[in-house]
Amino acid sequence: MGSRVVKRAYRYRFYPTPQQAEQLAKTFGCVRYVYNRAFAERHRVWVQEQRRVSHAETDRMLTAWKRDPDMLWLAEPSKGPLQATLRNLQAAYVNFWQKRAKYPTFKKKGKTADSAIYFRNCFTFRNGILTLAKQAEPLDIAWSRVLPEGANPSQVTVSRNSRGQYHVSILAEETIEALPRVDAQVGVDAGVTSLLALSTGEKIANPKHERRDRERLGHAQRVLSRKAKGSKNRAKARLRVARIHGRIADRRRDNLHKITTRLVRENQTIVVEDLAVRNMVRNHSLARSISDAAWSEMRIMLEYKAGWYGRDVIAIDRWYPSSKTCSACGAIVEKLPLNVREWTCRCGAHHDRDVNAAKNILAAGLAVAACGDGVRPSRS
């Protein structure tokens, strides 16, 4: 057992006054403008001069824009969010150069959630009262859980989602105690019929959050499609669609947090498949169900929680034939269509497809941990 200091974000909903909402709307607009203009300039220089524009250059551009008599409105919001959006643009380029992400794109109003990042010198936090720069009143925050004792936030992110809800994410350092070591190890097979199958034989049901609201969502989307573009009725219809999507996402996230927390608490080692979800959703027959299961989000949760609490997450090769391999004798069947949920090996072992896959995933992951070797079978 031990402890580690981590930076952890605590997210809360807050309810701005009309003056605060107006000031935040201006901030969000300025952040979007600065990002798009800096991106356009960086793209132009690359196309015309084949030269990379540095973050320091875009910072100097921002200073020049704020001094322009026709752009004095850029000085109305706090300088922190404008500088932060330039950092985000630089990070987007670095991720592209290192082949971790696609080429950056413009931020379109209404297409993504509005957000603004405030650094330590752009807000005050005392005795649970948070006040942003350029605002006279503190934020009315719904403290759904307490911050760590003595928390000293280093960064605050304010956002407004498509439902018109405001949230504040408070980043602070926290000392987290590792969980006591346990002997339990588990292999996890992600699926659609069952959300997860564990090597212990347990299956975790798929709540199918999107399917529960599919009829209501479909009706709201049809109503939206009939509204005139740019009309107030279309804006209201879009808000109704966003609220349904939001409820689905909230239920899905809550369920995934409960499942991943339980897996991390109960097991020392968790083995998963390195699934290429982006490629899998190209299958139009399964895309909706795969997206609703949110496998990528679940793996992200597993990995950061395991890092906090001293657990291990191992990902095995996505091409390993976990479903077609007999967990008893190791024989591999040539064909196993998706509609076959149970099968019997020539050795006589009868398998549930998903549980058998989870057992093989665990065995392969432990082999990787022991010798560091790959688990993809040879082509011969």
Beta-sheet strand order (sheet of 114-119): 114-119, 155-160, 166-177, 3-14, 141-142
- Could you give the CA distance from residue 245 to residue 216 in angstroms, rounded to a whole number? 10
Specify the pLDDT at position 372.
59
CA dihedral 326, 329, 330, 334 (to 10 degrees): -60
| 292 among known catalytic residues | no
Q: Which of 189, 215, 352, 373 is catalytic?
A: 189
pLDDT in tens, 58-107: 999 999 999 999 998 998 899 999 999 999 999 999 999 999 889 999 99
pLDDT, one tens digit per residue, over 275-301 is: 777 777 677 777 777 787 888 899 999
Question: What is the per-residue pLDDT across 257-272, written as a single tens digit (0 to 9) for each?
Answer: 999 999 999 999 999 9
Active site residue 189: yes
Delineate the domains of the chain, giving CATH numbers in brackets: 3-177 (no CATH), 185-206+249-371 (3.30.420)
Which of the 8 DSSP states describes residue 380?
-
- Position 380 confidence tier, pLDDT thresholds 50, 70, 90: very low
Annotated catalytic residue, options 114, 210, 273, 292? 273
The answer, as to whether pTM is greater than 0.75, is yes
The answer to whether residues 175 and 168 touch, using CB atoms and an 8 Å cutoff, is no
Residue bearing the bigger pLDDT, 122 or 148: 122
The region, left, alpha or beta by phi > 0 then psi within -120 to 50, assigned to residue 52 is beta
SS3 173: strand
Whether 312 is catalytic: no
